[in-house]
Structure 1
């Protein structure tokens, strides 16, 4: 591991108010590591973590925040999914692509030890394969969101090759778990079950998806951040499971036996069909192994949602 616990240079975490960025900042705090947490709006999390307000398009402020030096950058800041900003494509390009370029330049100028880009398996688009899909599969993104991830990955790889920046892109599959508040089938099923509401979906019973629990996603980013070397510039990271949404409903019923869930056949209208991704490279190079099963993750997510609902006035 290249991380020196004695260093006083912080890790810069973008998107720190989002699902993955917030969980990553909390983990760094638990490890007593120095970090700067950034997001568009300043806030203090429930864990007491201060998030500095900074738009990634404000390059002068970003560089000012890093003027005392930074150890590394973990770039999670972006529109987080194909269902977000569908009607504002210009904003998607500015935030997801230009924002990544700005952070890469920050890492280069301030000589960061490592740059980790939080990418997505949406970069693949529709992918069908008889064998587990590896990172070298041809990318055919089917959404602007997916295309923004591809563009950002290529820019990240170019910085690594042209400027010698130690950088990699981690392609996360569908992240779920405590802290996720954007559209999520897992959360919808849990919230409906807790409220004794029926869940009705016009698609999904035969549509596969590969989920990853938020803590496992953070494990992978930290592994990429602290790996002694990065043999690859891209890594697939999933929870190593692939289930249909119908099978997901059965797992939710295992937690809530009275859950009333009915799904129709057909694909998710804002998602792509994807065969199983190989995580062999991340296992080999980063030592990544998912620790939370889908059933365990659903239970943990349900406990978090229930506790949050009980706290509401």
Structure 2
């Protein structure tokens, strides 16, 4: 039996593929390798997957756009699919303002195509990526999966909320077991260049100025990649029962929604200080106002996922940032060689 992983060449998806292979699963990865982030980085992530010890024939990759349902169905014809981990999406809050149609294609049509794949193949479980962005500027901290999320302040957030609603309809109509995961500011090895942790590190090491928004008066629930993967696999291995009971997020169908974060709202200034310390040099700063679509704070309440799956993050940023910088130095040197 096969586990499908979309976004396989992405940050989180590549880590999930590697962990699934390590535990003996057969993984089929899907990614369109678009250029929103460097394509070379995506190929390097795929090389890391293929380099896993004992991978053999347990990883197959399809270069395709899952928003193209005909290409998706053709590529997976004949595959016996057990579960789907749908992590692929058009990412980025600010880019959704510049290129909204990319989000409609990938995050709306693409999500629908994965739901249809799950329905027609009668998969055991579909785990999909949502986002902490759905909480918008809610002042109710920490964010709880039970609270209303009806006021997105970016199109990206709106598409992720829409994904949750589409998933609920498929869980209700077709009893398709699903778990939606609201990720909180993920960082770590093989991360994303469009995220602050990567950008700050790269610029500080290069002696270039960093842009600090809102005077640094922002807080984020920074979550190390290993903790994220632990949560994804715990969710994957525990499909929601179709028992009529209320699930995390409020559904009575086989559909749950969880936060995955570090359960700490860290000041941006602390993040910058830790990166400076790990890099061994101070940042040159350019102060900027808050950007459209951005939020002042994120903070995950983990009560539901701790109760149901026993999830507990283990990597505070004091530990995770030095690990990240060490990896980044090595990767940067490798690319420069």
Relative to the length of structure 2, the TM-score reads 0.84
Equivalent residue in structure 2 for 1:22, among 14, 38, 43: 14
Given the alignment of the two structures, is residue 176 of structure 1 paired with residue 187 of structure 2, yes or no?
yes
CA distance in 2, matches of 1:223, 1:15: 19
Corresponding position of 1:253: 276
CA distance in 2, matches of 1:295, 1:248: 9
1:79 Cα offset (Å): 0.8
Question: How big is each residue's C-alpha offset from its partner over 1:33-75, in whole Å with a ceiling of 9 and x where there is no partner?
Answer: 1110001149642331653112112222322315332011111
CA distance in 2, matches of 1:268, 1:227: 38
Counterparts of 1:1-313 in structure 2, within 5 Å, are 9-41=1-33, 44-48=46-50, 50-64=60-74, 65-129=76-140, 131-139=141-149, 140-227=151-238, 229=240, 231-232=247-248, 233-262=256-285, 264=287, 267-274=290-297, 276-311=299-334, 312-313=336-337
CA distance in 1, matches of 2:173, 2:267: 42
1:228 Cα offset (Å): 5.2
Q: Choose 114-123 or 77-86, whichever is displaced more.
A: 77-86
1:264 Cα offset (Å): 4.1
Q: Choose 78-87 or 193-202, whichever is displaced more.
A: 193-202
Secondary structure, counterpart of 1:223 in structure 2? helix
CA distance in 2, matches of 1:276, 1:305: 26
Structure 1 segments of 4 or more deviating over 6 A?
none
Q: Contact 1:12/1:72 (CA < 8 Å) preserved in 2?
A: yes
1:274 Cα offset (Å): 3.4
Corresponding position of 1:5: none
Relative to the length of structure 1, the TM-score reads 0.90
CA distance in 1, matches of 2:133, 2:270: 21
CA distance in 1, matches of 2:127, 2:116: 13
Question: How big is each residue's C-alpha offset from its partner over 1:191-241, in whole Å with a ceiling of 9 and x where there is no partner?
Answer: 233234443425341111111112211111111110153633211111122
Corresponding residue pairs, total: 304
Aligned Cα root-mean-square deviation (Å): 2.1
Q: Choose 221-230 or 146-155, whichever is displaced more.
A: 221-230
1:144 Cα offset (Å): 0.3
- Are residues 87 and 147 of structure 1, via their aligned partners in 2, closer, same or farther at CA, if it must alter by over 3 Å? same
- Are residues 80 and 260 of structure 1, via their aligned partners in 2, closer, same or farther at CA, if it must alter by over 3 Å? same
Secondary structure, counterpart of 2:110 in structure 1? helix
Unpaired runs of 5+ residues, structure 1, are 1-8
Q: Choose 276-285 or 110-119, whichever is displaced more.
A: 276-285
